[in-house]
Amino acid sequence: MIKLKYASPVTHTPAADETHTPTLFGLYPQGEPVATQSTQERLDAMKCALKHRLQPPVAITCNPHRIGKNSCVAIHLEDGRGKRADILLTQEGRASLPLDNEFGSPRWYVNVPDAADMVYMTLWVSSIFQE
């Protein structure tokens, strides 16, 4: 069994003069991971939508692959009733999370800017049903 370290992100309000970076999470060598208020709101909406659709226990399968030049991780979640959710994480240099009107569709698309956000987002999804 492999256990990966995961710390929940702390909500961070950027200073007025802080430049925007296209990341979902601030992942610093020391200290807690951070997410902006708007990112945290989208993550909370995604978490609520997953918990509304699926009931524990939930099996999670991750399949890394490439689409063209973009690295991806397809995350498949399925509960004991056969209810499913599929999340496609794509590394393409920008960050975006699903909007509320997208949660009704079978697959949700998440764009991440780099590998660090891809790994962290995968860990975040897996932590939802471990609480």
In tens, the pLDDT along 21-74 reads 577 888 778 777 888 888 899 999 999 999 999 999 999 999 999 988 999 999
Q: Could you give the residue ranges of the DSSP H alpha helices within the chain?
A: 37-53, 115-127
Token pair, residue 14, equals 């950027």
Cross-strand partners of 71 = 66
Tokens 């393409």: give the residue.
Answer: 92
- What letter does residue 16 receive in the DSSP assignment? T
User: Mean of the pLDDT values across residues 103-117?
Assistant: 94
CB burial of residue 58 (10 Å; 0-12, 13-18, 19+): buried
Mean pLDDT of the chain: 86
Dist CA 39 CA 126 (whole Å): 18
Angle (CA) 77 100 122, round 5°: 35
Confidence (pTM): 0.84
* Percent of the chain surpassing pLDDT 90: 59
Tokens 């802080």: give the residue.
Answer: 18
Q: Please tell me the predicted confidence (pLDDT) of residue 34.
A: 85
